[in-house]
């Protein structure tokens, strides 16, 4: 079976308050689902790796094939739990170790 | 070579100086090197100087941009005559088919912006693209509309954009992706903006060009034209001789 290539994204969350991990992932999944539908979202194999609450930096994992779709969906996020928010991609890497070296 | 990024459409009111200042700071933080603040009126020299200082403080180059909202073709021609040499970029907001056709064929127009999200009021078709190519105008897409819309409206809008981008690619019309931000929350990093272009069928390189090479090419071309030694494309005054 072909190995699934993954990419790790470091995200900067810009928001006045701090959402919970579940609220944040719901917002990200919601954005992907709105743009690509449920089947499209399921293909991303997205997962939360780390959420640094103090500096609002989030690390998520996705498959390489759907990286473009996930990045586009992240750029389209305008609110999290009804509060104004935006998500910026700080770095993308193939390994978590390399990702943390980048920013 | 490292890319230089430009956002050619910041729609923040220049009278709200604190908001504008914070938006310029944010743009600099995001990595933009060229920033255009749009004017729908003729600004005073003081206002321009203030803006230039604000941008210079954060190492961002200000690009002067005029947004024209003409009601008819005559008004468009009048405004172009009046403003062309005062601004780096002239954008025509096309709400009407006749105006959009006239704007596309006029070489003084740099950008064509179609603000309407309703497909019946977007006039970038094959004829428009052909005129735009001969008139050296570019198609501008504001991502703010994509961020604001939801549900079926966004689906229809994306469909329109995909069609327009395909036409622009066929006719070699440059595409510019701008934020169109009226508030800071609609500003995105250049690569995030480029990733949005993925939604309407641009490749990675093409998408990055829409926020770097394409806008910068227009700015450089126009600045060259605005220099006093410019005569015509390819012809400029190198040295003035004695008049006998």
pLDDT of B15: 82
Q: Is residue B244 part of a domain?
A: no
> Is B241 domain-assigned?
no
Q: Which of B151, B196, B204 is nearest residue A75 as measured by Cβ atoms? A: B196
Select from A35, A78, A84 the Cβ nearest to the Cβ of B199.
Answer: A35
A86 with B148: Cβ contact below 8 A: no
Percent of chain A predicted with pLDDT > 70: 100
Q: How far is B212 from chain A (nearest CA, A)?
A: 18
Q: In a 3-state reduction of DSSP, which class is residue B151?
A: helix
**What is the reported pLDDT for B244?**
66
Residue B163 contacts residue B129 (beta carbons within 8 Å): no
pTM: 0.88
Residue B244, token pair as written in the block:
């006998």
Q: Where would I find the beta strands (DSSP E) of B52-148? A: 61-68, 89-93, 111-113, 138-142
CA B144 to chain A, closest CA, distance in angstroms equals 9
Does residue B62 sit within a domain?
A: yes
Q: Is B192 within the bounds of a domain?
A: yes
Q: Give the other-Cβ count within 10 Å of B211's Cβ.
A: 30
Q: Report yes or no: B26 at the A interface, CB cutoff 8 Å.
A: no
State the total domains in chain B.
Answer: 1
Q: Classify residue B243: in a domain, yes or no.
A: no
Between CA B88 and CA B36 the distance in angstroms is: 9
Q: Do A75 and B193 touch (CB under 8 A)?
A: yes
| A6-102 placed in CATH 3.30.70.3250 | yes
Chain B residue numbers with beta carbons less than 8 Å from the beta carbon of A68 are 195, 198, 204
A68/B185 Cβ within 8 A: no
With beta carbons under 8 A apart, name residues in chain B contacting A35.
199
pLDDT in 10s for each residue of chain B, 244 residues: 788 999 999 998 888 888 989 999 999 999 999 999 988 777 788 888 888 888 999 999 999 999 999 999 999 999 999 989 889 999 999 988 999 999 999 999 999 999 988 888 899 999 999 999 999 999 999 999 999 998 889 999 999 999 999 999 999 999 999 999 998 899 999 999 999 998 988 999 999 999 999 999 999 999 988 888 888 878 888 888 877 6
- Is B40 contained in some domain? yes
Domain housing B176: 5-236
CATH number at residue B143: 3.20.20.140
Say if the Cβ atoms of A88 and B189 lie within 8 Å.
yes
pLDDT digits (tens, 9 = 90+) for A55-91: 999 999 999 999 999 999 999 999 999 999 999 999 9
A60, A47 Cβ separation under 8 angstroms: yes
How far apart (Å, rounded) are the C-alpha atoms in residues B73 and B121? 17
3-state per-residue secondary structure call for A17-51? CCCCHHHHHHHHHHHHHHHHHHHHHHCCCCEEEEE
Cβ contact A76–B191 (<8 Å): no
């Amino acid at each position: 079976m072909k190995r699934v290539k993954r990419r790790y994204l470091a995200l900067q969350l810009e928001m006045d308050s701090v959402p919970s991990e579940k609220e944040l992932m719901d917002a990200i999944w919601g954005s992907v689902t709105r743009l690509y539908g449920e089947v499209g979202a399921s293909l991303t194999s997205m997962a939360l790796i780390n959420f640094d609450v103090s500096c609002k930096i989030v690390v998520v994992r996705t498959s390489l094939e759907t990286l473009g779709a996930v990045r586009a969906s992240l750029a389209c996020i305008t609110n999290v739990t009804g509060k104004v928010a935006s998500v910026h991609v700080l770095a993308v890497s193939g390994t978590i170790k390399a990702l943390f070296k980048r920013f | 070579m490292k890319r230089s990024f430009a956002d050619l459409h910041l729609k923040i009111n220049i009278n709200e100086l604190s908001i504008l200042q914070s938006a310029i700071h944010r743009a600099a933080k995001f990595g933009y090197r060229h920033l255009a603040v749009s004017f729908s009126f003729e600004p005073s020299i003081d206002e321009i100087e203030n803006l230039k200082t604000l941008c210079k403080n954060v190492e961002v180059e200000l690009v002067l941009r005029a947004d024209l909202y003409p009601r008819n073709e005559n008004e468009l021609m009048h405004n172009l005559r009046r403003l062309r040499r005062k601004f780096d970029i002239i954008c025509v907001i096309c709400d009407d088919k006749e105006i959009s056709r006239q704007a596309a064929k006029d070489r003084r127009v740099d950008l064509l912006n179609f603000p309407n999200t309703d497909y019946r009021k977007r006039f970038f078709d094959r004829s428009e693209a052909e005129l735009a190519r001969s008139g050296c105008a570019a198609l501008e897409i504001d991502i703010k509309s994509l961020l604001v819309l939801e549900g079926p409206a966004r689906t229809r809008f994306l469909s329109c954009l995909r069609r327009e981008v395909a036409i622009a690619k066929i006719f070699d019309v440059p595409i510019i992706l701008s934020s169109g931000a009226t508030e800071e929350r609609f500003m995105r990093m250049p690569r995030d903006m480029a990733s949005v272009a993925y939604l309407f069928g641009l490749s990675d390189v093409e998408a990055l060009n829409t926020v770097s090479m394409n806008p910068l090419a227009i700015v450089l071309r126009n600045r060259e034209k605005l220099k006093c030694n410019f005569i015509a494309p390819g012809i400029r005054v190198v040295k003035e001789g004695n008049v006998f």
